[in-house]
Structure 1
C-alpha cells in the first residue's frame, strides 16, 4: 500500500489531541470513530507503519497511547499548513519518498527558518 503522508499527519494530530499519555485507545475503535472517511484497512496500515517507525506508542497492533518523542518532533516540524505545504512542494519532484526523508526535509526547513 502506498503511504498517504496527509493521512499520517492527520493521524498524528488526532492522537496528540486525544492522548493524555496514559489512556489506551483500541486501534479499531480509534479508526472507526476518528477516520470514517477512510477505509479501515488503510488507516490501520498507516497506524502499523507509524508504530514501526516509532512515532506512536505502544508498539503493538491493538492499542494506541501517545506520540513518542520522535512523533512529537515530526509533528511539530509539519504542524502549520504553511510548513506542511513547503515540505510537500520540496518532495513532490521525487514522487515517492521514505518517511525519514519527509522528516528530514521538514527538519531542514524548520532549521532554515531559524537561520541555522
Structure 2
C-alpha cells in the first residue's frame, strides 16, 4: 500500500474537528469505522483512510485505546498527541501545504519525517522573509 500524505493530513484535520472534549478536559474517543467519509475525507478511499490511521498510530501522532488484534478500522482513537498537534499546526495552511507537496514531489519523498522536515524548513524560510533577516 502506498502512503498518501494528503490523506494522513486530512485524517488529522478530521480528528482535530471531531474528537470532543469532556467537561473534565479529557477527550472522548472516536472509532475509525464511525468516521464521516464525506467532507474532508471524501476524496480518499476507506482503505487509504484506515492505512493512514494505522500510520499515524505507528508514528505516534494519534493515541488509540488499544490496537491488539484489531484492524485499523476498529481503532478507538482517544486523542491527538502533542507531536500530532505540532504537525497539524505546521501543515494546516493550504498555501504552506501546497508548497510542501510541491517540494516533496520534486524530491520524491512522502514519509512523515520528510514532510515534517520540509515543513520546518519552509516555515523557517517564511519567518526569515517576513522578518527581513
With the length of structure 2 as denominator, give the TM-score of the two structures: 0.76
Which structure's CA Rg is the greater one? 2
Match of 1:111 in 2: 124
Number of corresponding residues = 116
Match of 1:78 in 2: 91
Structure 1 alignment gaps of length 5 or more = none
1:20-71 Cα shifts (integer Å, max 9, x gaps): 2520111211265774554322211110000001111126342112211111
CA contact (8 A) 2:63 2:79 kept: yes
With the length of structure 1 as denominator, give the TM-score of the two structures: 0.86
CA contact (8 A) 1:31 1:40 kept: no
Equivalent residue in structure 2 for 1:98, among 84, 89, 111: 111
Structure 2 alignment gaps of length 5 or more = none
Following the alignment from structure 2 to structure 1, what is the Cα–Cα distance between the partners of residues 100 and 44? 23
Match of 2:11 in 1: 11
Question: Superposition RMSD on alpha carbons, in Å?
Answer: 2.1
